[in-house]
Structure 1
Amino acid sequence: MTSAPNDLAFLRRLRPLAARELRLALLAGAVAGVMVVLQAWWVATILDRALVGREPLAELVLPFVLLFGIVALRAASTFAAERLGFAAAMRVVPALRRALLGKLGRVGPSGAAALPTGEIVAALSDGVRAVEPFFSRYLPATAQAAMLPVGIFLVVAPLDWLSALVFLVTAPLIPLFMVLIGKGAEALNQRQWLRLQRMSGHFLDAVQGLASIKAFGAGPRMVAEVGATAERYRRDTMAVLRIAFLSSLTLEFFSTVAIAIIAVLIGFRLLWGELDYRAGLFILLLAPEFYGPLRMMGTAYHARMEALGAASRLVALDALPEPVLASGTARPAFGDGIAIRFEDVHLTYPDGRIALRGVTFAIEPGETVAFAGPSGAGKSSIQALLLGFVGPTSGRILIDGHPLETLDPEHWRRHLGFMPQRPKLFAASVRGNIAPGEADPDDSAILRAAERAGVAGVIADLPQGLDTAIGNGGRQLSGGQASRIALARLFCRDAPLALLDEPTAHLDDDSEAMIHAAITQLKGRRTLLVNAHRPASLALAHRIIRIEEGRIAVGQAEPAETACPC
């Protein structure tokens, strides 16, 4: 678990994002503090003139108008401080979420696999949202607690040293008990966030495996487990709330007792004639205002604890190691095909798993190469290296003579096409799935790609053609149709390097034949790297490179037409 100092340092690193709004909130809070003192003085003055001086009401009209102006200015500055605090949070929260999503994009699937999916989802949703009160409430409350009590103390001290002494003695008790109680809340918040992440991961696993759960009759047991996890989370939440209420009670108790002490002292001294009415009333009106910011900071302190609990998970996400590719800046021009060279490449994943051991091979532009071997041999790791999802532990990868780590990741990936074993289709239209991420896709290019992928007839039969929403995962399509939509995506991109990871796995013979016929159109025009097991897929290649236990097998490569089935 990340230590609290690191969590706090992470939150402090975010402050420059909202520095302007926080400064303005501080200024608005200072104005509100000045208006608090002026309001108390003006109320005391009006009551002194009316009750002690017995001035007629007509002579107090102007003071009442001025008092109304002070109250209005105080309300406006307080509202401005709250709005600016919220604006500061709204600067931080979207920027933080974008930064974390960008981090996930840079680390890729291999890096993100170091954290459970449920934990990542909880961090990006609830974790980022929990940071908002730290900036909207805690930081402004802390600034106000530092300014207003000090200002009131400096105003009261020349008027009445005894009341100032009470302020001086009792004021430190509130933050002291706030910290003492908050220490217990910190541990509970950390545990609560762990519960939330586990519950998120458990629920996500249950949803993803819903078909299997139903098929094996495990529904009631899974419902019971999810319910038990939710119940434990509820108990942790209530424990945090109990401490929060205890903290509020303690702070209110000490501030109320302190105000009562000041009221008693002022009352007796007014009775004995040691203090004039206006000064006594002025101090008495300021007493609740003196403790108000300290109580508010005590309440906001729990927002700090919650933010620290969330930050511990955000730090873990932010600390994921990025592949070497992420630091490149070169943007070379690539032709229709790309030359690839691996030189003694080793790859060890962060969990210690060795994927590649001294792999060396060369691929010419426009060549179609199939990588064959048992599952786990390292075929997908070669593609992960080329995609930039991981960086080599040692060795060198050259792309048209350029070291891969020197290339700009976005520029390089724009020249890549990728078709995984199980293509990902999004909850978008057919158009959005064939040309994802394009602001203004060319329908004619999309239809040509669909025609080459053999899926144009399927699209024509859909109710709204290219505008038909196919649902997350392509629920409206068969497995073969979904694979052809993914292949159309590959054709539409028309990248000089195409990576295909067992593109016909899990398909029937007819669908496999259609996919192979479509892929054949790319052969010779683009550099193709195909991971394959089936003989028909291996036959697409100019040559085959066999991988065994992370190494190139003896003989390294063989022509596809002489390859035996594997």
Structure 2
Amino acid sequence: MPAIDPRLLRYTRATRVFLTLSVLIGIGQAVVILTQAWLLASIITDAFLHDAGLPELGHRLILLATALAGRAVLGWLAEVTAHHSSAAVKSELRMRLLRQVVRLGPRWLTGERSSELTTLATRGIDALDDYFSRYLPQLVLVCFVPLVVAARMFAADWLSASIVLVTLPLIPIFMILVGLTTRQLMSRQWAALQLLTHHFLDVLAGLGTLKAFGRSRAQVATIEKLADRQRRATLASLRIAFLSSLVLELLATLSVALVAVSVGLRLVDGRLDLQTALLVLILAPEAYLPLRMLGAHYHASTEGLAAAEQVFSVLDQVVPAEGSARLAADRTIELDQVTVAGADRDQPAIDSLSLTVPAGRVTGIVGPSGCGKSTLLAVLLGFTRPANGRILVDGIDLATADPDHWRSQIAWLRQEPVLFAGTVFENIRLGRPDADDSAVRRAACAARVDVPLEKLIGERGNGVSAGQHRRIALARALLLDAPLLLLDEPTEGVDPEIEHELLSTLPAAFAGRTVVLVTHRAALLGLCDHVIELAPAEVPA
């Protein structure tokens, strides 16, 4: 991977701003280093050779203190800029990743591991902190400081500058060799971490089933094996990091020692004056310092770069062509001979389906399992593109619509709704954070949520029953107040008494909206203005 991945520049505007600021700070630090070295050399020379006192040295001492303070301030600015830029880049990358996953749709997600995407969007992108806060600032300094310092040394003492120019390339050559090995090790470490995370989250998700069949303890050995693989991969990368840092320090130390020996011999012979010798000795370590720090920070950045590589692989996925038309969802929707290919089977999920969803009416969708009811909702959401046929919204093809604008007008209750750790109130208001308390309570009342809104629940609705889980998700969908409401089994797992109460509150919640209601419950069909029965696609002989 290149030192600066061009895709970071392409996908994140904050990276370009950060690099511009880093270049300006790097130039400032190079100037301060030269000023500091000259002041130190001249002050020491005048003090020891010419017996200069504070009156003669006072203004230079003030300038030296100013230079030291300036170097500290520039270093602080570099840190602050790096951390702010890192936060902006991570936020932008994370949002792009989430938007891309939405654009790719559930069909693409069925082939992906959700736990790997979760790790990528959290730990993976967070690992870019070291890349931006440590590695990139040093990379900018490497482009300026060694060359500026070497040029100043050449003007003062061409022999010392020649030693520096000959030995400097040894460090980047060694870093390239180390980098090739480190990149492979960090790729293995990242793969091991993702595998461990994937298996661990799968075990947690299915822990109830595993305990029911007495298989929970059997997974302990598998997790231990994966954890040991991750440990060995991490230790291998750390071993390379420590050894390479040792060699880099050794190379830099030996190079500075060569300069010091050369300067010392010529100073004793009288071929070099003290001020020039001091200037060269002060500047020589500064020429190697950015390269040494770059090598030390490279290893800290490789995990983030390995994760970024996977983020870019998702962002580079080809998304079906999207339109820009801003269609209104409160219009009649027609499906004209729509066929949707099945994900894992030869026969289509939907085959030549034609139906009409009238605006402002409740349309019921019924049919046996596997007939394509949930696929139909995915088609209306724009997540799944039909292989043949068209979806018309008031006569305009949905394929021409701006997908973000279209989905912003839809409230969707999926077959397996997701709740997050927090209060019931926060979960209901998730899709509409600006909703006031009274609106949230009205939505909860319409969905017959019988859980205190202040109650804390765990991730994935831990702490509430299946029926309560679904009603909280239904309240969230109703709160959106979207013109198009797609409900997939809204009363699944709900007690008959609660379902009877919902039959009395939902008509008011549905008023003025276009509703597509997928259900197996006969009682809910009474809320529908018309019902469409889907037949399973015929299996080819």
Structure 1 runs not aligned, ≥5 long: 552-566
In 1: Cα distance, 2:332 partner to 2:261 partner: 89
Question: Does residue 259 of the first structure (1) align with residue 246 of the second (2)?
Answer: no
CA distance in structure 1 between the aligned counterparts of 2:72 and 2:443, rounded to whole angstroms: 62
1:161-218 deviations in whole A, cap 9, x for unaligned? 2212111211100000000111000111111111111111111112212222222232
Asked whether the 8 Å contact 2:471–2:490 carries over to 1, the reply is: no
* SS of match in other structure, 1:91: helix
Code of the aligned partner of 1:340: I
Residues 487 and 517, structure 2, Cα contact 8 Å, conserved in 1: yes
What does 1:456-467 correspond to in 2, within 5 Å? 458=450, 462=452, 466-467=453-454
Return the match for 1:120 from 117, 122, 132. Answer: 117
Residue 543 in 1 paired to residue 536 in 2?
no
CA contact (8 A) 1:323 1:388 kept: no
1:434-462 Cα deviation digits (max 9, x unpaired): 4433244355555554444444xx35xx3
- RMSD of aligned Cα (Å): 3.1
**Aligned pair 1:501/2:488, yes or no?**
yes
Q: 1:269 to 1:434 in 2, by over 3 A?
A: closer
Q: State the partner residue of 2:140.
A: 143
Tell me, in whole angstroms, the C-alpha distance in 2 between the residues paired with 1:382 and 1:333.
16
- Cα distance change, pair 355–158 in 1 and its aligned pair in 2 (3 A): same
Describe the shift of the 1:440–1:177 C-alpha distance in structure 2 as closer, same or farther (beyond 3 A): closer
Residue in structure 2 matching 1:371, options 365, 369, 372: 365
424-433 vs 163-172, greater mean Cα deviation: 424-433
Residues 1:348 and 2:348 are matched in the alignment? no
TM-score, reference length from structure 1: 0.85
What TM-score does the superposition give when structure 2 sets the normalisation length? Answer: 0.89
Q: Which amino acid aligns with 2:293?
A: M
Matched, 1:420 2:414: yes
CA apart distance, 1:331: 3.9
Question: Cα–Cα, structure 1 residues 85 and 369, in superposed 2: closer, same or farther, change >3 Å?
Answer: closer
Contact 1:516–1:537, Cα closer than 8 Å, also in 2: yes
Whichever residue aligns with residue 49 of structure 1, its letter is: D
Contact residue 89 and residue 136 of structure 1 kept, 8 A: yes
Secondary structure class of the residue paired with 1:78: helix
Q: Secondary structure at the match of 1:219?
A: coil
Structure 1 residues 487-496 or 279-288, which shifts more? 487-496
Structure 1 position 162 matched with structure 2 position 159: yes
The answer to whether residue 398 in structure 2 is matched with residue 401 in structure 1 is no
Q: Is the 8 A contact 1:22 1:88 kept in 2?
A: no
Unaligned runs of 5+ in 2: none
Q: Could you tell me how far 1:341 is from its partner in structure 2? A: 1.2
Aligned length: 538
Partner of 1:163: helix, strand, or coil?
A: helix
Whole-Å separation in 1 of the counterparts to 2:176 and 2:372: 53
CA distance in 2, matches of 1:170, 1:7: 24
Percentage of pairs with the same residue:
39
**Distance (whole Å) between structure 1 residues aligned to residue 263 and residue 478 of structure 2:** 85
Alignment check: 8 A CA contact 1:25 1:82 kept: no
With 93-102 and 437-446 compared, the bigger mean Cα shift is at: 437-446
- Worse-matched range after superposition: 383-392 or 500-509: 500-509
Partner secondary structure for residue 138 of structure 1: helix
Counterpart residue identity of residue 326, structure 2: A
Distance in 2 (CA, whole Å) between partners of 1:417 and 1:57 is 77
Q: For 1:490 and 1:78, how far apart are their aligned partners in 2?
A: 50
Distance in 2, matches of 1:205 and 1:247, equals 38
Q: How far apart, in 1, do the equivalents of 2:208 and 2:490 lie?
A: 24
Tell me the CA shift for residue 314 of structure 1: 0.8
Partner of 2:470: 483
- Superposition deviation, residue 123 in structure 1: 0.9
Residue 555 of structure 1 is matched in structure 2 by none
Amino acid at match of 1:306: E
Q: d(CA) in 1 for partners of 2:504 and 2:527?
A: 9
Q: Greater shift after overlay, 409-418 or 95-104?
A: 409-418
Q: Find out whether 1:330 has 2:326 as its counterpart.
A: yes
Take 1:385 and 1:406, find their aligned partners in 2: how far apart are those partners? 14
1:369, 1:545 within 8 Å by CA — same for their partners in 2?
no
- State the alpha-carbon separation in 1 of the partners of residues 4 and 495 from structure 2: 52
| Matched letter for residue 381 of structure 1 | T
Q: Give the 3-state SS of the residue equivalent to 1:362 in structure 2.
A: strand
Q: Give the Å deviation of 1:298.
A: 1.6
CA contact (8 A) 1:111 1:321 kept: no
Deviation of 1:304 after TM superposition, in Å, equals 4.5
Residue from 361, 369, 381 that aligns with 2:355: 361
